[in-house]
């Protein structure tokens, strides 16, 4: 089955047209054509479970699953059904709808460490809202972000720290400072350097590849209590992937605020800011303080996203979605590690991370991380029916999907081994290598690391 020949003619034409019409040729940088081999940029027509189809009618087992937003699988029937019912009842009214009440009740049952919740549409918006509440509550101006974690928001307070700060005034850049994960002294030093000025510390409690060291999160919590900054956990990825109650429940450390999105709606647009009543009420009516304009948007409570969330919450209550992802991820890791070893490239291709959020690492013949070899691996996977920049799984990945992936990784590893022996991807890789999605310059000549 994996030997079918895949052509990308229509995708190439559609991608070229997208580049003419849309800056970057995609609506998210991480989905851009620069993240894929030059002649293999599938434009998707539909998805079902763990598989997607493109305009050339190629099928692929997909990984990454909508930037980790899809944990139940594409077109998951109970979610589609609930969303369709909501859509048929009208989606946007002049007063709150029953979906808002039901979703809030459900979320706060699911995340008992939070007192209140406010829904929105994008993860960035709720994380930015957490910063605003923190600044209002503390009267401080600086934000401390964890610089060894990749991403928190499209907004200026975070992008100022990234490789793409263009368009952000220096005055704004100066308001964000950073620290290192799992290094409590780096946070202590930062607090000492800016006494009484840090309003919020924003971090993920864990990432797919780095777990918190024993006691680290507790120490961060104690620093927050001592110093008075607001501790914000970004649960965008960990929420619904580590646990439906978030990483805060897995590690037993409660932040002041937490921010959610991605898998809350199995791909539908819904995000959430949750946390302590004393903070959240600053954005409400039950306060004597000056009011914070908190997450007030035309589409904030549009009902299909909330309906999707309710169906997702049901699915997580009915079966152990996280447990399934963990189990299938373990199987995937074991099978792929064997396939890589059989091709003799274990020193060059690594499969690692939390089973529900696996990634692959690619090194060249000298053992250095290599974008060219990464691209070659992605190219060969695409040829053999696997689409992915990672191995992030969903609960819809079946044993058959894992078998297809294992065959594809075996085939890709064989080509990779030849390129390693040759000491180059020349003659194996078609086109230019991929490049980091967040980089200062677009030009390919600046891409290779």
Ligand X SMILES: Cc1ncc(COP(=O)(O)O)c(C=O)c1O
In the complex, the residues that contact ligand X under the rule CB under 6 A are 67, 122-124, 127, 151-154, 204, 234, 236-237, 261
Question: Do residues 70 and 392 lie in contact, with contact meaning Cβ atoms separated by under 8 Å?
Answer: no
Q: How far is the CB of 268 from ligand X (least distance, A)?
A: 12
Distance, in Å, from the CA atom of 376 to the CA atom of 421, rounded to the nearest integer, reads: 14
Q: How far is the CB of 125 from ligand X (least distance, A)?
A: 7
Q: How far is the CB of 164 from ligand X (least distance, A)?
A: 14
Q: Torsion angle, CA of 270/397/258/217, rounded to 10 degrees?
A: -170
DSSP labels, 376-420: HHHHHHHHTTEE-SSB---TT--HHHHHHHHHHHHHHHHHHHHHH
Q: How far is the CB of 256 from ligand X (least distance, A)?
A: 17
Residue number with CB closer to ligand X (357 or 410)? 357
Distance, in Å, from the CA atom of 264 to the CA atom of 157, rounded to the nearest integer, reads: 24
Residue number with CB closer to ligand X (236 or 274)? 236
Residue number with CB closer to ligand X (204 or 364)? 204
Q: How far is the CB of 67 from ligand X (least distance, A)?
A: 5
Residue number with CB closer to ligand X (36 or 233)? 233
Distance, in Å, from the CA atom of 58 to the CA atom of 9, rounded to the nearest integer, reads: 11
Residue number with CB closer to ligand X (113 or 153)? 153
Residue number with CB closer to ligand X (268 or 416)? 268
Q: How far is the CB of 232 from ligand X (least distance, A)?
A: 11
Residue number with CB closer to ligand X (212 or 261)? 261
Residue number with CB closer to ligand X (62 or 380)? 62
Residue 294 has φ and ψ, to the nearest 5°, of -115, 115
Residue number with CB closer to ligand X (273 or 396)? 273
List the structure tokens of 314.
Answer: 């049901």
DSSP labels, 32-53: SGGGS-TT--PPEEEEEBTEEE
List the structure tokens of 156.
Answer: 């200026």
C-alpha 173 chain-centroid distance:
24
Q: How far is the CB of 123 from ligand X (least distance, A)?
A: 2
List the structure tokens of 237.
Answer: 């990825």
Which helix (DSSP H) or strand (DSSP E) does residue 21 occupy?
helix 9-21
Using CA atoms, how far residue 55 sits from 13, 136, 138, 233, in Å, is: 10, 49, 52, 39
List the structure tokens of 125.
Answer: 């918006």
List the structure tokens of 99.
Answer: 């979906």
Q: How far is the CB of 329 from ligand X (least distance, A)?
A: 18
Distance, in Å, from the CA atom of 272 to the CA atom of 123, rounded to the nearest integer, reads: 7
Q: Among all residues, whose Cβ is closest to ligand X?
A: 123
Q: How far is the CB of 271 from ligand X (least distance, A)?
A: 6
DSSP labels, 339-375: HHHHTT-TTTEEEES-GGGBEEEEB-TTS-B-HHHHH
């Amino acid at each position: 089955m994996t030997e079918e020949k895949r052509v990308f003619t229509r995708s190439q034409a559609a991608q070229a047209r997208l580049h003419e019409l849309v800056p970057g040729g995609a609506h998210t940088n991480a989905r851009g054509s620069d993240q894929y081999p030059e002649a293999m940029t599938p434009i998707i027509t539909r998805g079902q479970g763990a598989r997607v189809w493109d305009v050339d009618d190629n099928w692929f087992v997909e990984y990454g699953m909508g930037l980790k937003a899809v944990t139940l699988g594409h077109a998951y029937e109970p979610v589609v059904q609930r969303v369709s019912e909501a859509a048929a009842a009208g989606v946007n009214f002049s007063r709150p709808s029953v979906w808002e009440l039901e979703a809030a009740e459900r979320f706060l049952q699911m995340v008992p460490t939070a007192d209140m919740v406010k829904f929105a549409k994008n993860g960035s918006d709720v994380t930015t809202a957490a910063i605003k509440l923190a600044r209002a509550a503390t009267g401080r101006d600086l934000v401390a972000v964890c610089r060894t974690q990749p991403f928190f928001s499209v907004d200026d307070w975070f992008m100022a720290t990234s490789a793409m700060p263009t368009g952000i005034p220096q005055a704004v850049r100066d308001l964000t400072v950073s620290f290192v994960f799992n290094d409590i002294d780096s946070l202590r030093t930062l607090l000492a350097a800016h006494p009484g000025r840090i309003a919020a510390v924003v971090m993920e409690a864990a990432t797919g590849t780095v777990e918190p060291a024993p006691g680290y999160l507790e120490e961060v919590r104690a620093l927050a209590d001592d110093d008075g900054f607001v501790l914000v956990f970004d649960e965008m990825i960990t929420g619904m992937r580590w646990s439906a109650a978030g990483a805060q429940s897995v590690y037993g450390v409660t932040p002041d605020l937490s921010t959610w999105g991605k898998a809350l709606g199995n791909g539908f647009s819904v995000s959430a800011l949750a946390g302590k009543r004393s903070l959240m009420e600053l954005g409400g009516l039950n306060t004597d303080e000056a009011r914070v304009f908190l997450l007030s948007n035309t589409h904030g409570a549009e009902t299909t996203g909330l309906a999707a969330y309710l169906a997702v919450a049901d699915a997580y209550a009915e079966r152990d979605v996280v447990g399934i992802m963990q189990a299938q991820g373990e199987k995937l890791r074991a099978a792929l590690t064997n396939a890589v070893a059989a091709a003799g490239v274990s020193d060059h291709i690594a499969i690692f991370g939390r089973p529900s959020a696996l990634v692959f690492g690619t090194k060249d013949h000298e053992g250095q991380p290599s974008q060219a070899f990464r691209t070659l691996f992605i190219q060969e996977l695409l040829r053999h029916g696997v689409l992915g920049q990672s191995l992030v799984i969903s609960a819809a990945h079946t044993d058959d999907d894992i078998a297809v992936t294992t065959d594809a990784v075996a085939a890709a590893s064989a080509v990779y081994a030849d390129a390693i022996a040759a000491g180059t991807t020349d003659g194996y890789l078609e086109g230019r290598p991929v490049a980091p999605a967040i980089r200062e310059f677009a030009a390919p000549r600046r891409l290779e690391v």
